[in-house]
Amino acid sequence: MPTLLLKVTPLQNPERYQALAAALTALTAELLHKRPEVTAVVIDDLPRARWCVGGRTVAGTAALLEIGITAGTNTEDEKARFIAAAFDELQRQLAPDGGFEVASYVTVRELPATDWGYGGRTQRARQLARATL
């Protein structure tokens, strides 16, 4: 179901990636009511020299988190709570002593159920199958 794409700078260690994936999966389940067993988290790190804010290379730690969910499955309030909690979690894990770029972003992308899926089936096909049960 949901896919979370996280980009971070600077490079982190593998244990940090595991902790980030676990925390983001838990937040997705708790706040957006998504199933953890089909929640994918992909983490990519970039050299600081390739991350610019305001036309300048960042001095601290920065993150960009994008989550893809099926359109219409969450309320505005649920998405807002997820954005705030995810930002706080990223800041807590990536820059606990400060230095987290304010221009770090969390975005929620809603995709039509007909336009994505997993296991070779669209989300719409899954919705239709549940409706016929």
Q: Cα(first)–Cα(last) distance of the chain, in Å?
A: 20
CB 42, CB 67: distance < 8 Å: no
Tokens at 14, concatenated: 């593998």
- Residue 103's SS3 state is coil
Phi, psi of 6, rounded to the nearest 5 degrees: -115, 125
% of the chain with per-residue pLDDT over 70: 100
pLDDT given at position 133: 80
100-123 tens-digit pLDDT: 999 999 999 999 999 988 899 999
CB 62, CB 9: distance < 8 Å: yes
pLDDT given at position 1: 77
Domains, the chain = 3-131 (3.30.429.10)
59-95 tens-digit pLDDT: 999 999 999 999 999 999 999 999 999 999 999 999 9
Residues comprising the chain, all counted: 133
